[in-house]
Structure 1
Amino acid sequence: MSGGDAGADISAADRYRAPALDKGLDILEVLASHVGGLTRAEIGRELGLSASQLYRMLERLVARGYVARVGGGDRYTLSMKMFVLATRHPPFRRLTAQAQPMLDEFAAEMNQSCHLVVPDHGTGLIIAQASPVSHWEYRARVGAQMDLFSTGSGLTLLACQHPDRSVETLGQWGIASAEDRLRQVAPELRAIRAAGYRMAPSMQIVGVTDISVPVRGPDQDAVAVVTCAHLEHPDAPRQDLHGEILERLKRLTDALSLPIAPGR
């Protein structure tokens, strides 16, 4: 193989490497997975780097406000700056601002919690949530990520994409080579697509029924999903609560959905 051919085989990811930036991002990612924070030595072990290699990078992250020292010592944790930046992202901010009052109204009316999920970097990201006014509650956490292939919200996002564009769409979401995974859940995706929603037992918690309805963009693909993780109350009237919740969610998501683009 000629030198020119070898150069052509270099991937874009390798060609445009920025080692210092990569190191900083690695630090942020490893801290995000440890709630109690890590010492410099522990970060080094996680990343295979020496404490001296991390020193300047950690100091800059602290100075810029992305990382904080716990108690002023040698243990580091993420600050709230990442969360603040994420919530400033215009599409999320607009959708959250519009959806939150509707979610709050739903939670109060139906006495059930609900949450709003969008696709983000290969996962589903919870960007808004509402709970009923009660002495107890079950709720999803804002900022939590969920697997698209094993949650009601994720499967609804996947199902409510045009089949001809689904692989391309997942690539844009950060999921490459998705054909095999889509084939594994194809029957369920077809059922959700035909119904226009998903209502089924939660795949995470026994006794919870997930009711998920898509928020649609102008091309009618799902841009978000609102899910009610329905819990049955002992004193609730015996009636079709699932059906009532589904109809209420449909009205909510219709109000959030964008008008159909001309020619659709």
Structure 2
Amino acid sequence: MTSDESSEATRYRAPALDKGLDILELLAASSMGLTQAEIAKGLGRGANEIYRMLDTLVRRGYVTRTLDGDRYTLSLRLLVLADIHPPRRRLLDAAEPRMRAFSARAEQSIHLAVMEASEVIISASFSAPGNWRMSLRVGSVIGLFNTGSGMVLAAFQRPDIRARIFRDHRLVPGESALSEADYEARTAAIRAAGNMSGESQTTVGVLNLSCPILDPFGNAIAALTCPYLRRIDSYATPGRDQTLALLREAADEIAREVMGPPHEPAQS
């Protein structure tokens, strides 16, 4: 960011809004609720500094107080707002044109997977434009441990969510269980690489390329996967590396449209 861009961003900051969002994000990470003092400590602010903001959030219904009045918890109001604007439809509206463009440019199939109750579900799919294709049916429930989509979705989650996915996942036909140690090692390697690239564990001759679609905090809301088929005749198509770059570009564009830019901590 240039100095002019930095000064422009600073000029239009809304400190009170930043403070309120910081409180909501802190409470969202707490399962038991927090006292006013704990919130102030967690944000590095004085208790009196956040009192009015907390009072407003309670009055507007975004935060509730426990019966004894000592602790604050996040209400379900944000969930209600999310339901008014269905997130799945918003995700598909952003993803489908970019998936179609990827398929045309890479000449490969592509599918979008999401996690629901520790199951990996195909939400959208586009077949390669040529004669040869490998694609998955929309609505299919696929494996967690033996698919690029499943492992990418698990890898880019908070540790507690990743552990819950491992614990609650039900194996699909043909899928073998992983030990918790192998699961953690593989997901750590995927996080380090930023994507997953490897031979399919369900079909011979397919190279799975998978990229996460990340929320502003680095958690995967979906995964884009290309079941890459390499041509061995004289017809030239994008290679593996170029295809992976196109897939990463599509995932990043979808994330920006759905979730906005990466999260930056608010400045005081």
Q: TM-score, normalised by structure 1?
A: 0.59
> What residue number does 2:263 align with?
261
User: What percent of counterpart residues are identical?
Assistant: 33
Q: 1:101 aligns with which of 80, 97, 101?
A: 97
User: What are the superposed Cα offsets for residues 125-148 of structure 1, whole Å, 9 maximum, x if unpaired?
Assistant: 110111122234221110001121
Return the alpha-carbon distance in structure 2 between the equivalents of residues 236 and 155 of structure 1: 34
Do the aligned residues in 1 keep the contact of 2:210 with 2:224 (CA within 8 Å)?
yes
Question: In structure 2, what is the Cα distance between the partners aligned to 1:240 and 1:113?
Answer: 13
AA at the equivalent of 1:214: P
- Aligned letter for 1:103? M
Change (3 A) 1:114 1:232: same
Q: 1:127 to 1:239 in 2, by over 3 A?
A: closer
Q: 1:220 is matched with which residue?
A: 218
**How does 1:177-216 map onto structure 2 within 5 Å?**
181-216=179-214
Does the CA contact (< 8 Å) of 2:120 and 2:149 recur in 1? yes
Superposition deviation, residue 150 in structure 1? 1.7
- How far residue 239 of structure 1 moved from its aligned partner, in angstroms, is 8.6
Structure 2: gaps spanning 5 or more residues:
1-83, 171-177
Deviation at 1:238, TM superposition (A): 7.1
Higher relative contact order (CA 8 A, sep 6+): 2
1:247 equivalent to 2:245? Answer yes
Structure 1 residues 239 and 106, CA, compared in 2 at 3 Å: closer, same or farther? closer
Structure 1 stretches of 4+ with a deviation exceeding 4 A read: 173-176, 236-240
- For the aligned residue pairs, the C-alpha RMSD in angstroms reads 2.7
Using the TM superposition, give the Cα deviation of residue 90 of structure 1 relative to its aligned residue in structure 2, in angstroms.
Answer: 1.8
Aligned match of 2:228 in 227, 230, 233? Answer: 230
Matched residue of 1:226: which SS? strand
Alignment of 1:1-264 (within 5 A): 90-163=86-159, 165-168=161-164, 170=165, 175=169, 181-235=179-233, 241-257=239-255, 258=259, 259-263=261-265
Distance 1:233 1:89 in 2: 42
Using a 3 Å threshold, how does the CA distance of structure 1 residues 240 and 103 change in structure 2: closer, same or farther? closer
- Judged with a 3 Å threshold, the aligned counterparts in structure 2 of structure 1 residues 243 and 237 are, in CA distance, closer, same or farther, namely farther
Q: Determine helix, strand or coil for the equivalent of 1:212.
A: strand
Distance 2:234 2:195 in 1: 24
TM-superposed deviation, 1:219: 1.1
Q: Is the 8 A contact 2:113 2:121 kept in 1?
A: yes
